[in-house]
Amino acid sequence: MFHGVECGASELAGPKLIKSLERGLLVLQALQMQPDSSLQELYVFTGISKPSLLRILHTLARSGVVTRRLADGRYRIGATLARAPSRREHRDRIAEAAAPILERLCQRVSWPSDLMVPAGDHMEIRETSRARSPILLQEERVGLQVNWLLTGVGRAYLAYCPARERQRIIEMLRPSSKAEDRLAREPARLNAILAEVRARGYATRDPTHVGGWYGKLPHADGLLSIAVPLRDGSRVLGSINIVWLKTAFSVEVFAARHLNQLQETAAEIVDAVRHRKKH
């Protein structure tokens, strides 16, 4: 007659915990509290050994729950799971789709690429393969800002985005006192530049633009670039480029060698973004 009591004690003990799941949830908690974490930071937060952490992160990445940024190898919760504002989620989705594709392009051409997306009065770098290139160039960080009107990525976007969006961006820049926004007050010249971009199929930086960040003092980086838009129907999601040392090739020679690969990469990124939306 004591069997019922014994059974009740067993139920009180509860089922056994799934340790691997528990550790996986601990990693996700760490990434919620500290987005864009390095392996070392996750190790400090969770106390899980680095080999075990790598296995957990690899498993979570295969499911799309966690992504690893190409630019700096830091981990973050995937855009499909993140509870972020829709605009940030959209940018993260593009960056996550682009990362492995930009890495493959870098492996083929050796020179690295940057992915830029609109961010108000400037464009913002959301991913880059510079850390993966065998050619040592100035490294760029995710979140850095570049201007619309003098950069190849900005001109590529403006040349192909819907006319209403382009006009809105230009009107936003027109009152600016920043030197890099001056072209917004020269509509005829700017329209001619963008028409030339469409005619040749790619954009490059203005000859007067030597490098630097939006609103900051210019600094000569010794680079040239060609850039194309990420065209999704009538919309443009962002722009990608390939950058190289200007002492190595002229723009025309480099474009003849690599423009087709850059355009194919842009189309592949857009397809990958569409695929992620469906899932």
pLDDT of residue 22: 80
Residue 27 clears pLDDT 70, i.e. is over it? yes
- Same domain membership, residue 246 and residue 197: yes
Say which CATH number the domain at 23 has.
1.10.10.10
Q: CA separation (Å) from 21 to 27, 40, 74, 112, 150?
A: 10, 21, 22, 37, 50
In this prediction, residue 3 carries a pLDDT of 45
Q: Are residues 156 and 263 in the same domain?
A: yes
pLDDT at residue 6, rounded to an integer: 45
Is the same domain home to 90 and 51? no
The percent of residues above 70 in pLDDT, for the chain, comes to 89
Task: For residues 43 and 114, state if they share a domain.
Answer: no
| 204 and 239 Cβ atoms separated by less than 8 Å | no
pLDDT at 2 over 70: no
CATH number at residue 166: 3.30.450.40
153 and 18 housed in the same domain = no
Residues 175 and 264 grouped into a single domain: yes
Domain assignment present for 53: yes
Residue 109 lies in a domain: yes
What is the distance, to the nearest Å, from the Cα of residue 201 to the centroid of all Cα atoms in its chain? 22
Distance, CA of 245 to CA of 222 (rounded, Å)? 6
How far apart CA 260 and CA 269 sit, in angstroms, is 14
Q: What is the mean pLDDT of residues 63-92?
A: 72
140-152 pLDDT, tens per residue? 788 899 999 999 9
Counting every residue written for the chain, the total comes to 279
**Does residue 199 form part of some domain?**
yes
Q: Residue 5 falls within a domain, yes or no?
A: no
Residues 117 and 172 in one domain: yes
Residue 6 placed within a domain: no
CA torsion sign for 35, 40, 43, 45 is: negative
90: three-class secondary structure by DSSP: helix
Specify the higher pLDDT residue, 79 or 231.
Answer: 231
The helix (run of H) or strand (run of E) holding residue 228 is strand 223-232
Hey, what's the torsion of the CAs at 111, 131, 98, 80, to 10 degrees?
180
> Cα-flanking dihedrals φ and ψ of residue 74, to 5°?
-85, 150
pTM greater than the 0.75 cutoff: no
Which residue range(s) make up the domain with 43?
14-63
Same domain, 55 and 115: no
- Mean of pLDDT values over 203-219: 93
Same domain, 109 and 222: yes
d(CA 66, CA 77): 4
Residues 90, 59, single domain; the answer is no
- Looking at the domain assignment, is residue 258 inside a domain? yes
What's the chain's average pLDDT? 87
> CA–CA distance from 56 to each of 47, 50, 52 (Å)?
13, 10, 6
Q: 58 and 124 share a domain?
A: no
Taking residues 84-94, what's their average pLDDT? 70
Q: How confident is the model at residue 116 (pLDDT cuts 50, 70, 90)?
A: very high
Asked if 267 and 255 count as a contact pair (C-beta separation under 8 A), the reply is no
CB 145 within 8 A of CB 213: yes
pLDDT at 225 over 80: yes
What does the DSSP 8-state code read for residue 80?
A: T
Is 70 within a domain? no
Per-residue pLDDT tens over the stretch 233-278:
999 999 999 999 999 999 999 999 999 999 999 999 999 999 877 7
Let me know: does 128 contact 115? Beta carbons within 8 Å.
yes
- The tally of domains found in the chain comes to 2
Residues 271 and 224 in one domain: yes
Residue 79: inside a domain, yes or no? no
User: How confident is residue 87, by pLDDT bands cut at 50, 70 and 90?
Assistant: low
229 φ, ψ (degrees, to nearest 5)? -80, 160
Query: Taking the CA of residue 212 as centre, how many other CA atoms within 13 Å lie in the half-sphere pointing to its CB?
Result: 14
In this prediction, residue 1 carries a pLDDT of 39
